[in-house]
Amino acid sequence: MVELALFALMGLGALAGAVTVVMARNPVYSAMGLLATLLSVAVLYVVQLAHLVAAVQVIVYAGAVLTLFLFVIMLIGVDQVVDTDERLRYQRPLVGGVAGLIILFAAALTMLGDFDWVPPATVMNPDATNGTVEAVAVPLFTDWVLAFEATALLLTVAAAGAIALAAYRRRRV
């Protein structure tokens, strides 16, 4: 019952935030909508016992990534005129139509409960997927240690690339 209430509340919050991201004229409002979605999804992670992932979501996404977004928005300037000339005549209704079809498809699948292409476990065992730090660390540092090392390399390369892009000055000709 608690899970249902949380799912409804946080699901609505996530959807409202997502719609705000797309609809808001001001990019700052978009960032705030993204923040609402990220925090709602973090609560949904906790409901599903993914504790560590939820904590990382709040720290990395809502903390670091969103701060970076706001920083760049402030750097570029928020008071830009939204150009109103329409260069996409039929694409927008097309996107709406396709989106409606996909929503109907997803809703039909959910109502029918037909997820047969992945056979679910017969009994859900909350102990097996209780994502504490220790429980997540064991597969992370045994089965996936090579991928873990690769992401360390990726982060180093990304940081170096960002610094190289920021320090780059165009030579005057």
User: Of 16-75, which residues contact another protein (CB under 8 A)?
Assistant: 18-19, 21-22, 24, 27, 30-31, 34, 37-38, 41, 44-45, 47-50, 52-53, 56-57, 60-61, 64-65, 68-69, 72-73, 75
Residue 173 binding another protein, by CB under 8 A: no
- Measured in whole angstroms, the distance separating CA 14 from the mean position of its chain's CA atoms is 10
Give the C-alpha separation, 96 to 107, whole Å: 16
Site for another protein, residues 65 to 124, rule: CB under 8 A: 65, 68-69, 72-73, 75-76, 80, 82-83, 87, 91-92, 95-96, 99, 102-103, 106-107, 109-110, 113, 115, 118, 120-121, 124
Tell the smallest beta-carbon distance from residue 18 to another protein (Å): 4
Beta-carbon contacts of residue 85 (< 8 Å; ≥ 6 apart): none
Q: Are 25 and 82 in contact (CB under 8 A)?
A: yes
Q: What are phi and psi of 131, to 5 degrees?
A: -80, 60
